[in-house]
């Protein structure tokens, strides 16, 4: 069965990786390619963005519903425009979004949209990272609170948000397992004479530099031992391949809010 795909943020780094996989696939058909109105890619043949020849679809800023699944890798303001459009539709396409930095209000809009269609939003589509998410949750449940949790993440110098969406995902997994709130227990900066480490807190350290794709370490630090769970992304392909795996999962699913744990069969 063919799946018709619309890509929002098609000219971005992840958008292009998704585009190339859709164009190369036997079961995925490019139905639309969207970018914001001022983008220089407007009205170009979408396939030309990845040096391929398929002139059927041109980049546009006009949303349509001619797709089974919309894949969104844009910026928060772009995702907001897309959500505002989809919420006016009676039967919108399924939505797979990897845009990070969404507000709590936008998360509520994703919940609202999930009453109409299948929705999956994830800050990271790597299958390994999402397995790590599950393992962190299990470790935080199993180990006593005397094991302090510290999360260290490293990304390339051009990364915009800190901590990364993936680091926050892992922090939420640990906090949920311990029955606490990450905003309440998270420690995101340390500078000067900060005193002893607060009991039960979840610490974050952010490193930026070079061309690092993404590295995440979750450390459980006890008095007599440490346990570390880690993931290293070697190329960006891992994120695109995971997103393609997820969109195939999402196609045909009933309305609802899904996660990558559903994709992995862990929930």
Q: Is the peptide bond before 53 cis (omega within 30 degrees of 0)?
A: no
Alpha helices by DSSP H, listed for 66-124, are 76-86, 104-113
Do the Cβ atoms of 41 and 11 come closer than 8 Å? yes
Q: Which run of H or E residues covers position 145?
A: none
Residue 36 annotated in active site: no
Tell me the angle at which helices 76-86 and 104-113 cross, rounded to the nearest 10 degrees: 30
Residue 155 annotated in active site: yes
Q: Which of 121, 133, 155, 251 is catalytic?
A: 155
Q: How many other C-beta atoms lie within 10 A of the C-beta of residue 187?
A: 14
Question: Cα–Cα distance between 152 and 119 in angstroms, integer?
Answer: 29
Q: Which run of H or E residues covers position 12?
A: none
Q: Which of 134, 159, 245, 253 is catalytic?
A: 159
Annotated active-site positions, please?
155, 159
């Amino acid at each position: 069965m063919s799946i018709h795909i619309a890509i929002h943020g098609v000219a971005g780094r992840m958008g292009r990786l998704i585009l190339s996989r859709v164009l190369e696939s036997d079961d995925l058909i490019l139905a639309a390619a969207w970018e914001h109105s001022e983008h220089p890619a407007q009205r170009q043949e979408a396939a030309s963005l990845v040096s391929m020849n398929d002139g059927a679809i041109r980049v546009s800023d006009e949303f349509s519903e001619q797709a089974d699944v919309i894949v969104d890798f844009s910026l928060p303001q772009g995702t907001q425009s897309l959500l505002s459009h989809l919420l006016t539709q009676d039967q919108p396409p399924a939505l797979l979004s990897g845009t990070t930095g969404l507000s709590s209000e936008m998360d509520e809009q994703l919940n609202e949209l999930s009453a109409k269609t299948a929705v999956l939003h994830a800050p990271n589509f790597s299958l390994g990272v999402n397995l790590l998410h599950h393992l962190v949750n299990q470790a935080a449940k199993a180990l006593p609170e005397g094991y302090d949790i510290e999360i260290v993440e490293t990304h390339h110098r051009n990364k915009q948000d800190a901590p990364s969406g993936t680091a926050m995902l892992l922090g939420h997994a640990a906090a949920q397992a311990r029955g606490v709130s990450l905003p309440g227990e998270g420690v995101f900066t340390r500078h000067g004479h900060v005193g002893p480490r607060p009991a039960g807190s979840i610490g974050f350290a952010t490193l930026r530099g070079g061309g690092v794709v993404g590295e995440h370490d979750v450390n459980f630090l006890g008095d007599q031992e440490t346990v570390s769970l880690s993931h290293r992304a070697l190329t960006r392909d891992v994120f695109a391949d995971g997103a393609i795996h997820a969109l195939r999962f999402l196609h045909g699913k009933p309305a609802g809010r899904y996660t990558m744990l559903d994709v992995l069969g862990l929930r």
